[in-house]
Structure 1
């Protein structure tokens, strides 16, 4: 763990910190948006399941407000044309999620506990698991939930904080999240900041 903590501390003293801080501010601003803004971000996170975040960002920019208006068939056709790996099922999930599009702000206000809010999202939005729900909440300003993909898990395994899982069940997700909590505590970073720094260490890029 000493090595990763050293690398994180170096980044915190570099120009990368300004980028991370700016991105966190963008997330907070996004979280103050209206229901349509929140829904479009939820659609982005639906797109990222088993697919590239960078490509999902491009698709989100192209489709924009049409996440709300396109029919399932039209949306699937558009996702396919834009290169999404699972156009039909993602279009289906996005259309099904529209039942929440005018109520997302009220849902956020209902929960003071972000972990309970994540549970609600996982149970009520088809196609969203813990990772995608955590991603959505991070992107709208929440800071205490881990976004666990295999880039992050690789780092935790190398640090000796967790054993490599073959698959990630909900129970395993919560257990691995504790390992990332420990790293966050040691590095004095919240989960939102830590995720961005770790992604930079693994990829040399900072996405949302």
Structure 2
């Protein structure tokens, strides 16, 4: 059995375990997020801005505590809140969030104009500071898109462990799309979406199914 086949076997094992129910619950949660008002969707974007080079679980806790403050707090106060809550880059992330507020009321309309999720991802990376390919993919997955890959170090670790990619020194757009293509093939062979695959792979690496 090849290393790739081993990984497929592990994924299929998870599909037939209690983890499948956890993944299904998350997928339903993401779908519901996409139906919310623009300002609620904006708060999810803020969460994804926080996750760049920072811990996802801690970002979830910060999002819960700040909540509407993402929409209302002055930059100095938002910076202080992020600092108190232990974010690694409080000043920079506060600035990105405050600058992104110009889209808080129109974000849902902007999203609805795009029929192609890849083009929407490109728009996000070009128009929202602090949002790269990973963060844009994460945001779109969390509001119901299921055809983009969220490539972080957990995913790289798994693919590298099974000989499917090398660990890149820097994540260029070209490299991101190459790895996304590998993940797309794995998802197809596993008969699941890229969004579901991400959750299963995250579970393999961390033992958790987070958003």
Q: TM-score range by the shorter chain?
A: over 0.9
Correspondent of 2:62 among 59, 75, 100: 59
Q: Deviations over 1:145-198 (max 9, x none)?
A: 000001101111223222221110111111111111111111111111000000
| 2:158 is the counterpart of 1:142 | no
Q: Deviations over 1:11-43 (max 9, x none)?
A: 101111011001000000001000111000000
Q: Identify the residue that residue 83 of structure 1 maps to in structure 2.
A: 86
Q: Which runs of 5+ in 1 are unaligned?
A: none
How far apart, in 2, do the equivalents of 1:132 and 1:94 lie? 13
Deviates more, 1:179-188 or 1:41-50: 179-188
How far apart, in 2, do the equivalents of 1:10 and 1:163 lie? 25
Deviation at 1:78, TM superposition (A): 0.2
How far apart, in 2, do the equivalents of 1:106 and 1:73 lie? 29
| 2:193 is the counterpart of 1:190 | yes
Per the alignment, in what secondary structure is the counterpart of residue 59 of structure 2? helix
Q: Which runs of 5+ in 2 are unaligned?
A: none
| 2:160 is the counterpart of 1:157 | yes
How far apart, in 2, do the equivalents of 1:170 and 1:96 lie? 24
Deviates more, 1:22-31 or 1:165-174: 165-174
| 2:81 is the counterpart of 1:100 | no
Q: Identify the residue that residue 7 of structure 1 maps to in structure 2.
A: 10
Give me the CA root mean square deviation.
0.7
How far apart, in 2, do the equivalents of 1:150 and 1:84 lie? 19
Aligned 1:13-92 pairs, distance under 5 A: 13-92=16-95
- Which consecutive aligned stretches of 4+ in structure 1 deviate over 6 angstroms post-superposition? none
Deviates more, 1:171-180 or 1:156-165: 156-165
Deviation at 1:48, TM superposition (A): 0.2
Per the alignment, in what secondary structure is the counterpart of residue 185 of structure 1? helix
How far apart, in 1, do the equivalents of 2:179 and 2:118 lie? 15
Deviation at 1:46, TM superposition (A): 0.2
| 2:130 is the counterpart of 1:127 | yes
Q: Deviations over 1:90-119 (max 9, x none)?
A: 000000000111111111110000000000
